[in-house]
Amino acid sequence: MILKKYGIPNETSFEDFKGLLKEGGDNYWGDSILLDFLKEYLNINIVVLYDNDITNKYYHYPMMDIYHENKNTILLLYKNEIHFQLIGHFSGNKMNTIFNRENIPKEILSMVEIR
């Protein structure tokens, strides 16, 4: 099972793991291992943009992964080295947070290695 690959105890069901993530607090913090797990489990790309208002540094945060143009993509902002924020855009009254090859901003594609 995919949970075992990421060091999650065998007795943890996927539903229990989802509950742990939803619970919030200090039980589990999102990190690169969680992002890698979600990419594999959901079969998506995750692109992370780094934004640090304190040091005035802004760039594509390397996740050591290749962008697959046939997969949907989620964009995250790694804000001030504290937390991740989901990036989206409004289309009418709906916030779109899942991008595909046709609607992902060209500026994002220019930063990633495409496979």
pLDDT, tens digit, 9 for 90 and up, residues 62-79: 877 888 999 999 999 999
Q: Look at residue 98 and tell me if it is in a domain.
A: yes
Q: Look at residue 7 and tell me if it is in a domain.
A: no
Q: Look at residue 35 and tell me if it is in a domain.
A: no
Q: Please, what is the Cα angle at 40 between 102 and 78, to 5 degrees?
A: 70
Q: Which of 46, 12, 13 is nearest to 32 (CA)?
A: 46
Q: Look at residue 3 and tell me if it is in a domain.
A: no
Tell me: pLDDT of 32 over 70.
yes
Q: Do 49 and 87 form a contact (C-beta atoms < 8 A)?
A: yes
Q: Do 51 and 58 form a contact (C-beta atoms < 8 A)?
A: yes
Query: Looking at the 3D structure of the chain, how many domains does it have?
Result: 1
Region 27-55 average pLDDT: 84
Q: Look at residue 49 and tell me if it is in a domain.
A: yes
Residue numbers of the domain that contains 89? 44-115
> pLDDT tier at 33 (50, 70, 90 boundaries)?
confident
Q: Look at residue 90 and tell me if it is in a domain.
A: yes
> pLDDT tier at 3 (50, 70, 90 boundaries)?
low
Q: Do 66 and 115 form a contact (C-beta atoms < 8 A)?
A: yes
Region 10-35 average pLDDT: 71
Beta bridge partners of 45: 73
